Structure 1
Amino acid sequence: MKKIVLALVFVSILSCKSKEEKMQAEVDESAVKVSGQELFEGEGNCIACHQPDQKIIGPSLQEIAKIYKEKDASIVLFLKEESDPIIDPSQYDIMKTNFAITKTMSDEELKAIEEYIYSFSK
């Protein structure tokens, strides 16, 4: 009888762990990857200065995409403040305030923003 009770306790412990692992897997699978557009318009607050097809405070997304592609430069490195501005250096001081935001983003998030910007290249 002791062996049966002990076996049931052991099985129940294993099944609880299994349920926890299953729940974690479901959470991982349901995690939604944030898009570059959502980061650009939301957390990054980039939309405040950059519009798709016109210069507001900063250059348009079309201009950024075109110049960065032509120069084979990295938007990600610029957003990490690891490369110099190549489009409008006179606006660099204004952009510096946003580096506090972009430097906290993961490489994956910055890459998503870069891909979003490149989607405006012709």
Structure 2
Amino acid sequence: MKVYLQFLLIVSFVLNLISCGKKTETDAMGNPVEQKETSVNQTPEELGKELFEGKGTCATCHQAKAKVIGPSITAISKIYKDKKASIALFLKGEGEPLVDPSQYEIMKANFAITKSMTDEELDALETYMLSVK
């Protein structure tokens, strides 16, 4: 019995040491997110593009000029410009769906990702989307 308790103590100690290792950031789906160093000289548009294609997982459903799962970036930008609305507020979950309300439930699943972004990141994402021609 004493040997068994010593064994459990050693195993718990080893597991405790292992769990103190390097922590990795994950996206809303639990997948590891690659940490990239951001350049001090990076423009909001460049940061927005990086977020759109990476951490934000936006490129999975949205392409520049073609509707895939979601509307194209150019369609989204046009409507938001015309209505003088904020893409960043929508991505925070604080704005109404303006482009295709029928797909709002699909988009809502991604709010876990976009709500975790900083205001600077959301503004950069909006800047990038509005710049796509």
- Residues of 2 paired with 1:119 and 1:80: CA distance? 20
Query: Which structure 2 residues correspond to residues 14-25 of structure 1 after superposition, within 5 A?
Result: none
The Cα offsets for residues 36-82 of structure 1, whole Å up to 9 and x where unpaired, read as 00000000000000000000011100001100000000000000000
Q: Structure 1 unaligned segments of length 5 or more: list them.
A: 1-29
Change (3 A) 1:100 1:72: same
Consecutive aligned runs of 4 or more in structure 1 exceeding 6 Å deviation: none
Larger Rg computed on CA atoms: 1
Q: Which residue of 1 aligns with 2:104?
A: 92
Q: Which residue of 2 aligns with 1:43?
A: 55
Q: Which residue of 1 aligns with 2:78?
A: 66
Q: Structure 2 unaligned segments of length 5 or more: list them.
A: 1-36
Instruction: Give the counterpart of 1:104 among 116, 121, 124.
Output: 116
Aligned alpha-carbon RMSD (Å): 1.5
Deviation at residue 120 of structure 1 after TM alignment: 1.6
Of Structure 1 and Structure 2, the greater helix share is in 1
Instruction: Give the counterpart of 2:88 among 58, 69, 76.
Output: 76
What percent identity do the matched residue pairs reach?
59
What is the TM-score normalised by the length of structure 2?
0.66
